[in-house]
Copies of this chain bind each other. A is one copy, B any other.
């Protein structure tokens, strides 16, 4: 037990952002939360589409984007501008005083450019520091930070950064002074053992079960790093984590709850 104030940190994933009706429904639920809150968004699919229309090819390796000089410009336009400012405008329309930020703003998310090993991921950052003090000062003014998945390196570069990791790292850092609840909203009801069957939802997942499922190869691709982020966040002070679809913030929604 502790007496820290609850802080809700919510990540919304790519496909949800493109679905206007689901996004609006989600933002309405988010705006209604009475606790201090933070939103994190990506926007990979939309970036790929705009890049294509601008004549840039998108290169992926094992489902991960190679962020060349053109890609980081498109990501900056799409995540940092188009998606961020439209979400902020919608939230303001719902009387939720939001602010759209990337990691360079107020030096909020500092990262280092990923070193080149087998693959050169390009302008991709691994998070080193979250500016907890700045984020707290916004929350204390009743301002709701909306972060796009872009970090910043001290050398003055914007770096593409995994949105799930941004959410987890902000959650860990803010746990020092808040009782943090972390939510990952995406296109599924939660962790499924059969991705085609929503009835295969795992309602409670602990690390023992997680290891079992990995061994049985029932969890793969994007879900692996997402769950890795979840268990790491639980180890570093985050109180409560759940995964689900755009209805995740509603009471009694179907979801996966992650426990140690």
Contact = CB atoms under 8 A, between A and B. Distances in A.
Interface residues of A, number: 42
A223 B234 CA distance: 59
A33 B154 CA distance: 21
19 contacts: A50-B77, A53-B54, A76-B82, A76-B86, A77-B82, A78-B81, A79-B81, A81-B82, A81-B84, A85-B102, A85-B104, A85-B105, A88-B102, A89-B152, A89-B156, A92-B104, A92-B107, A93-B157, A100-B104
Nearest to A110: B92
Given A77-B77, A92-B156, A156-B93, A143 B82 contact: no
Nearest to A55: B53
4 residue pairs, one from A and one from B, having the closest CB atoms: A81-B81, A93-B156, A77-B77, A80-B81
Given A78-B81, A81-B76, A92-B152, A158 B106 contact: no
Contacts of A141: 134, 137
A99 B156 CA distance: 14
Contact of A73 (B82, B104, B150): B82
A53 B55 CA distance: 8
A155 interface: yes
A154 B84 CA distance: 17
